């Protein structure tokens, strides 16, 4: 019984040592990516206002774009900036951004949505 437990412990230790380097190599990349995304979103959040005015204006007309698009753009700007600030504050925990698209310049013609963060 004692030998079986020792063998299980040794097997488990070898498994942990073999798996760990793969995660260790990816971790710095994920952390740096999250920090970069956070900085970009915190700085470019204000660009959500003209982006949303343009999208809503093209879909529903100029008046609707200048009113509803402006108000929605302000809400999206605050959301993107706060998401960026949160990513900066928690960059050591590699999660995906709360905002889609991740960068505002990824798809300037796509509406901004906010989603649940997941591990990278």
Cis peptide bond prior to 40, omega within 30° of 0: no
Mean pLDDT along residues 80-90:
95
Confidence of residue 119 (pLDDT cuts 50, 70, 90): confident
Confidence of residue 37 (pLDDT cuts 50, 70, 90): very high
pTM above 0.85, yes or no: no
Domain ranges for the chain = 26-114
State the pLDDT at residue 118. Answer: 81
> d(Cα 51, Cα 70) in Å, to the nearest integer?
9
């Amino acid at each position: 019984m004692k030998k079986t437990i020792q063998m299980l412990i040794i097997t488990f230790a070898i498994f942990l040592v073999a798996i760990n380097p793969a995660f260790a190599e990816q971790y710095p990349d994920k952390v740096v990516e999250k920090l970069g995304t956070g900085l970009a979103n915190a700085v470019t959040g204000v660009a959500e206002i003209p982006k949303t005015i343009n999208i809503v204006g093209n879909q529903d007309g100029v008046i609707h774009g200048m009113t509803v698009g402006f108000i929605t753009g302000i809400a999206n700007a605050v959301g993107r900036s706060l998401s960026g600030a949160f990513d900066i504050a928690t960059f050591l925990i590699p999660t995906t951004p709360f905002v889609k698209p991740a960068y505002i310049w990824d798809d300037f013609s796509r509406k901004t949505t906010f989603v649940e963060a997941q591990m990278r």
